[in-house]
Structure 1
Amino acid sequence: MTDKDFEENEVPGEEGSAAEAAGPAPQEGTDAENGEELTVDDILGTQQNADAAAEDAKIADLESALLNDLKRLQAEYANYRRRTEEQREREIERAKGEVAKGLLPVLDDLDRAAKHGDLEEGTPFAQIAEKLRSVAERIGVSAYGEAGEVFDPQQHEAIFQAPTPGVEVPTVLEVVEVGYRLGSVELRPAKVVVAVPAE
């Protein structure tokens, strides 16, 4: 058999059909799913998108942290203002209390003068007494303690106890010295004689 015969006996198209069946070899830098060719710009763009997403996440975390810091500072400032206001109110009350305590002996003298008839209406002394009492009222000083009240050891200071028939509960029999308050603060308890039940 000659070479010519051998060439004639070869199955025509066998090589071509195997190559065709395998299809074209995939080219470097192509997308395997849709066969589109990827460029350097596509690869860089994907990386940039990932970097941008990471940067956005960092910014969101920073914004959240700053917002929390701002809320904390606002709460601290509100607490500071409240404490400062409370302290200011206490200082005002303390200052008023000092003034009021200085007025108490004068108010006691005015009460004694009124009991002895020395504060006749229309006299200069009565007018001065009225002005002093109005000043005391204006700063919030109020007197308490009257005969007939139920004895309260939180408000009254008993200087004497008098057993009295017919009395069922301790009662103020006589007020020796009037008590004074400044708002809700007690400046001085009322000194009283207490009627107690007789045994």
Structure 2
Amino acid sequence: MTRPDTPNPKEQRPEVVVHDRRRIDPETLQLREPDEIPPEREGGEHVLEPPDRAGVLEAELAERTADLQRVQAEYENYRKRVRHDQEAVNEIATAKVLESLLPILDAIDRARSLGEVNGGLWAVAEALEETLAGLGLERTGTPGEPFDPARHEAVDHEISDDVDTPVCTAVLRPGYQLGTRLLRPAQVSVTEPPEHPAAAAGAHES
């Protein structure tokens, strides 16, 4: 029996109130409307307001826009790489075809030097050279131009006081290039000044 002056434990225990503030209903698994969330707890304690849906949507839109712009930039870079690779492959294929035709051009040059290119052969030679030029084939090597080891192959040389730098005196066999790609260097005869290192080395060897 409980004494009258002893407080009842049930009367001292505060009532526990549980507020379910979950956005998803655990039973229906549906998104609850904002008004289903109690705006205040008992006793005047404020709870967090639901996030601003317009702000959330704007942030998501900005993020998706940034993702789209990044994907577009990556795709544009990919297109540029593919186009560059295709151009490189086409140039290599064209260069191989043109290289295989260089002996024919050499034969035409020899026939010209002998005066044997005339009539129908002359028309064929002109049509062939125009077609190859249309594909980008360029002849290199001109008498009097400066000697360039990257573009010329010196097969003969002489020393002269009339020149200050090595020059191509004669072109023994023309060179050809496709754009910036050198298909074959021109074989030339080079004239050098006496003080040029290559001329001095040649004189010492002889």
Residue 56 of structure 1, CA deviation: 3.5
Point out the structure with max Rg over C-alpha. Answer: 1
Q: Percent identity?
A: 35
Equivalent in the alignment of 1:174: 170
Mapped partners of 2:167, 2:132: distance in 1: 28
Distance 1:56 1:50, change over 3 A: farther
1:154 CA displacement: 2.0
Per-residue deviation, 1:125: 1.2
Aligned residue in 1 for 2:72: 74
Distance 2:107 2:120 in 1: 16
Superposed displacement of residue 152, structure 1: 1.4
Between the aligned partners of 2:55 and 2:149, the Cα distance in structure 1 is 68
Partner AA of 1:139 in structure 2: L
Q: What is the alpha-carbon distance in structure 1 between the residues aligned to residue 87 and residue 155 of structure 2?
A: 35
CA displacement at 1:52 relative to structure 2: 4.9
Q: Deviations over 1:144-196 (max 9, x none)?
A: 11111111122111122211232221111111110111122211111111011
C-alpha separation between the residues in 1 aligned to 2:164 and 2:70?
60
3-state SS, counterpart of residue 50 of structure 2: helix
Distance 1:147 1:52 in 2: 82
1:163 equivalent in structure 2: 159
Aligned to 2:121: 125
Paired position in structure 2 for 1:22: none
Q: Secondary structure at the match of 1:119?
A: coil
Distance across 2 between alignment mates of 1:171 and 1:52: 81
Measure, in 2, the Cα distance between the counterparts of 1:69 and 1:155: 49
Kindly report which structure 2 residues correspond to 1:93-172, keeping only aligned pairs within 5 A, or say none: 93-120=91-118, 123-172=119-168
Q: How many residues are paired up? A: 155
CA distance in 1, matches of 2:162, 2:194: 8
| 1:78-89 mapped onto 2 (5 Å cutoff) | 78-89=76-87
Higher relative contact order (Cα pairs below 8 Å, separated by 6+ residues): 1
Letter in 2 for 1:117: G
| 1:45 to partner: Cα distance | 6.8
Distance 1:149 1:82 in 2: 38
Q: Whose helix proportion is higher, 1 or 2?
A: 1
Which 5+ residue runs of structure 2 have no aligned equivalent? Answer: 1-34, 41-45, 196-206
Shift of 1:106: 0.6
User: Which aligned segments of 4 or more residues in structure 1 are displaced greater than 4 angstroms?
Assistant: 43-47
Which residue identity does 1:94 align to in structure 2?
I
State the distance in 1 between where 2:38 and 2:163 align: 102
